[in-house]
Amino acid sequence: MSGIVGLTPDQVRELRSRLASYNSARGFKGLDGMGLTPEQIQEIQRRIDVQVAEWNRYPLGWPCKRFKDPSAVQKFVRADLIDNGFRPRMTFKKTSPRQFQLRAIQDGNEYLGIVVKTGSRQLTIRLLALDDNWSQTTKIKTPFDA
């Protein structure tokens, strides 16, 4: 954290260690107990706020357009995947107005996928095989305005 006046090398190491878990499941331990001045805490918090604002600058699925008919999109993608050898039992989760996540199985391999709208009548599907990290991105034309 160069540029923050008066931090000792030990404080810099501790701060970097704590910040590494800022957005993780382990959780951020905060800034207490590091011997920082109120001014140092204020400056560190300002920098954290700037970084968080940048992370959240765009909504999930950006810059793709919002789905006009999410249920039709889901039915269309399900049918397309089944036509391509995926098992009918698959799950979809609408993570934003711009994106679906899916989980499906083909030939015993499990896949995670993302579906976004990349044109008025076009979807893009990105699939990732969990077993071997194989991935594929496919564009699909739809007969309706997705």
pLDDT band (50, 70, 90) for residue 25:
low
Long-range contact set of residues 31-36: C-beta below 8 Å, sequence gap at least 24: 35/11, 36/7, 36/11
Q: Is residue 23 part of a domain?
A: yes
**Mean pLDDT across the stretch 13-22?**
86
Report pLDDT for 53. Answer: 83
Q: Tell me whether strands 99-106 and 91-96 are parallel, antiparallel or unpaired.
A: antiparallel
Distance CA 86, CA 25 (A): 32
pLDDT band (50, 70, 90) for residue 18:
confident
pLDDT in tens, 97-110: 999 999 999 999 99
Report pLDDT for 2. Answer: 53
Report pLDDT for 64. Answer: 86
pLDDT at 3 over 70: no
Same structural domain, 91 and 118: yes
DSSP-assigned states of every residue in 10-59: HHHHHHHHHHTTTTSTT----STTS---HHHHHHHHHHHHHHHHHHTSS-
Q: Is residue 14 part of a domain?
A: yes
Q: Domain of 79?
A: 70-141
Same structural domain, 75 and 112: yes
**Mean pLDDT across the stretch 11-35?**
83
Report pLDDT for 22. Answer: 79
Number of domains in the chain: 2
Q: Are 115 and 125 in contact (CB under 8 A)?
A: yes
